[in-house]
Structure 1
Amino acid sequence: MSASGGGDDQRESRIPSNMKGLMQFCIEQGSACDNPDGVISEMSAERREWLESALNDMTSNPVNRMKEGLGKLNQPDNEDDENLTDEKISVLEEMMEWCENIDLAIDFHKIGGYEVLKKQFDHSEPEIRWNALELLGILVQNNPYCQDAALKHELLPLVLHMVDNDSNATVRTKALFAISCLCRDVPDAQKVFVDNDGFSVVMRAMQSDVEKLKIKAAFMLSSLCNDKPEFKDIMCDIGMIDQLVGHLQEEHSSFHEHIMSALLTIVRDNPRACTECQRHELNLLSTLNDRVDLLKGKEEFQEEREYATELLRLLQDQDISDVAR
């Protein structure tokens, strides 16, 4: 009993309480593993250097690391340096990890990060552009300070332009992701979005042949209309209902679930949108009845069927209300 307890005490006394102790502990354990007979030999210089480097990375100052990274991103591209693009991508990926922390995301702005980030949106390499956009989304998501900073640096109009005009599908999709993160529950950002004809940008995104972009656009549409019901009138003004119904009449795909959800969000508690949907030339009631029948018993499309059923009910209730008046 006492022997066992003594062994436990001995092991506990060797548990490191700081980084220096951790390094010494690792050195000893590594040496012991190299020498199963229990004779501890000195660690090789190469192995010691690797371990010290790893521990330094663990204890590095995140703000200093971000400053170093911004310096790397600011370096002019050099055709003779094939590794520079990869290094810049690695910097952006590392900054995404740091900036998941709200305080570090704020520090990123304070050390001049937004001006450097903005420059990456024009980079010739698509992977740098889309990583920069993903970083922007991470920075502003649920972070009022960074949302305000992004608006002051006028990043939203730039990113809207990228959704419309970038030649790379992933860049366009990441741009819409960043916009969604910035605009969700942020009235000031939503105003900038509307002032820059953002809904037309979203409508054009849904006309693309990029499935992910189309789905993100439809999802964002639903989110914005849930946030601010007055946006539903804008949907009617710009012909969004016609476009959504038109998509439903295309060959069925997983995209239709998101279209049906967006349409339902616009119609719910909005008599004007209901009236728009009932126009004979849209033939929406017939489309919805056919869709409910088509998806019957198909579990993978259960949500879409539920959306279609509720939408059908709302439109039929509106019909009854109109007759009663």
Structure 2
Amino acid sequence: MAKEGPNWEGLLKWSLSHSDGTNSSRNLSEEDRRWFMEAMQAQSVDVIRRMKEITLVMQAPEHVLESQGITPQDIEDMLDELQEHVESIDMANDLYSIGGLVPLLGYLKNSHANIRAKAAEVVSTVVQNNPKSQQLVMEANGLEPLLSNFITDPDVLVRTKALGAISCKHPGHNKPGITAFRLANGYAALRDALGSESVRFQR
């Protein structure tokens, strides 16, 4: 479930009120307050820097990554890290700004099933309760590979994760998404999922 970015100011106030029961009402000096906020902002900058690094890796062709000794497992681990970063709605929206959304969507077509599944899981986090990122994914034609993976992928985990990402887009409030889902025979695929041998996929 996507979360709002940290409320550093609120955290600061809480820390002050709980750090010293005998002096909980003391005022923080402007210098200390500035230091605290700069430290927290620096942490945000570090996350953005790391997301940019991950974006560069996602943009690299598969054969280039292989030549550098980067394995599919390395990519999965990298996507796990990215997913943690985009749990903040602000960071999820920043992923588009730094050019990371399109290559992430490209991973939905990766030759490795586990990477396709993990990419769909990250997309789920990006769009969860986030209308702005939902719209950005639609504009980047991200629904098409998700639908394709849900309907035709031979790997049941990929199909499950793709459906999870589709369902996070609030289809009840997304008429273009509903239309695309219907035209792609998504409802027939949902019916077929009920007959799957995978209980997780049925759910």
In structure 2, the residue matched to 1:205 is: 193
Among residues 99, 103, 124, which one is paired with 2:86 in the alignment? 99
Distance 1:207 1:107, change over 3 A: same
Q: Indicate conservation of the 8 Å contact 1:163/1:205, yes or no.
A: no
Q: Letter of the aligned partner of 1:140 in structure 2?
A: V
* Contact persistence 1:77–1:84 (CA under 8 A): no
Aligned-residue sequence identity (percent) comes to 28
1:183 and 2:176 matched:
no
- The verdict on how the C-alpha distance between 1:164 and 1:114 changes in structure 2, with shifts beyond 3 A counting, is same
Normalising to structure 2: TM-score of the pair?
Answer: 0.72
Q: Tell me what 1:214 maps to.
A: 202
Q: Quick one: distance in 1 between partners of 2:67 and 2:96?
A: 31
Amino acid at match of 1:179: I
Letter in 2 for 1:196: A
**Residue number in structure 2 paired with 1:158:** 145
**Structure 2 unmatched runs, 5+:** 1-31
Q: Which residue number in structure 1 is paired with residue 76 of structure 2?
A: 89
Change beyond 3 A, Cα 1:176–1:109? same
For 1:107, give the aligned amino acid. D
Q: In structure 2, what is the equivalent of residue 136 of structure 1? A: 123
8 Å Cα contact 2:54-2:78 kept in structure 1: yes
Deviation at 1:139, TM superposition (A): 0.7
Q: Structure 2 vs 1, CA of residues 112 and 165 (structure 1 numbering), >3 Å: closer, same or farther?
A: same
- The one-letter amino acid of 1:97's match is E
Structure 2 residue aligned with 1:61, among 41, 46, 52? 46
Q: How much is the aligned-residue C-alpha RMSD, in angstroms?
A: 2.5
Q: TM-score, normalised by structure 1?
A: 0.46
Q: Which has the higher contact order (CA 8 A, sep 6+)?
A: 2
Q: Which runs of 5+ in 1 are unaligned?
A: 1-16, 23-56, 216-325
2:109·2:145 contact (CA, 8 Å) conserved in 1? no
Larger radius of gyration: 1
Return the letter of the residue paired with 1:197.
N
1:93 counterpart letter in structure 2: D
SS of the aligned residue for 1:106 comes to helix
Which residue does 1:71 correspond to in 2?
56
